């Protein structure tokens, strides 16, 4: 499939512009319509303005952490799936993220092709639910 994410709206949240840019390029190359946010506060606003089909979310963010964004998402009816990305290798952080309902957890540097594949899988699963 040439464009596995064709016309899917994906919100990318990361405070590192280089990581944000590389993830955005990979997802757009797969057909996604992307929106970006540099911090958790902007992410929460973006989610309420236009519900994305998927969120790629950094754990450690300024203003509002990725964990707090996840907690806010739980307040929504049928929240979008989330892929959490982080440089933090702590197992407790991953376990907590999983308890909040993330769909996938990637350590940085993010393997972009795997990210695209997982994004498509999670969106398809969410649409079937």
> Does 4 reside within a domain?
no
By DSSP bridging, strand 54-58 and strand 9-13 are: parallel
CA–CA gap between residue 35 and residue 10 (Å, rounded): 6
Predicted pLDDT at 67? 94
3-state helix, strand, coil in the chain (%, to 5): 45, 20, 35
How many domains does the structure of the chain reveal? Answer: 1
Mark the ranges of the chain whose per-residue pLDDT is less than 50. none
> Does 128 reside within a domain?
no
> Does 78 reside within a domain?
yes
Write phi, then psi, for 63 (nearest 5 degrees): 70, -65
Domain CATH for 108: 3.40.50.2300
For 114, the domain range is 9-123
> Does 19 reside within a domain?
yes
CA proximity to 53, closest of 124, 118, 3, 104: 124
> Does 129 reside within a domain?
no
């Amino acid at each position: 499939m040439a464009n596995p994410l064709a016309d899917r709206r994906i919100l990318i949240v990361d405070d590192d512009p280089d990581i944000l840019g590389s993830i955005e390029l990979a997802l757009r190359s797969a057909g996604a319509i992307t929106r970006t946010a540099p911090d958790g506060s902007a992410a929460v606003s973006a989610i309420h303005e236009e519900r994305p089909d998927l969120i790629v979310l950094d754990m450690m963010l300024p203003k509002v952490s990725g964990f707090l964004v996840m907690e806010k998402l739980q307040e929504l009816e049928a929240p979008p799936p989330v892929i959490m990305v982080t440089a933090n290798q702590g197992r407790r952080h991953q376990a907590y993220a999983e308890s909040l309902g993330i769909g996938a957890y990637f350590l940085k540097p993010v393997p972009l092709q795997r990210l695209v594949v997982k994004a498509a899988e999670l969106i398809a699963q969410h649409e079937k639910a």
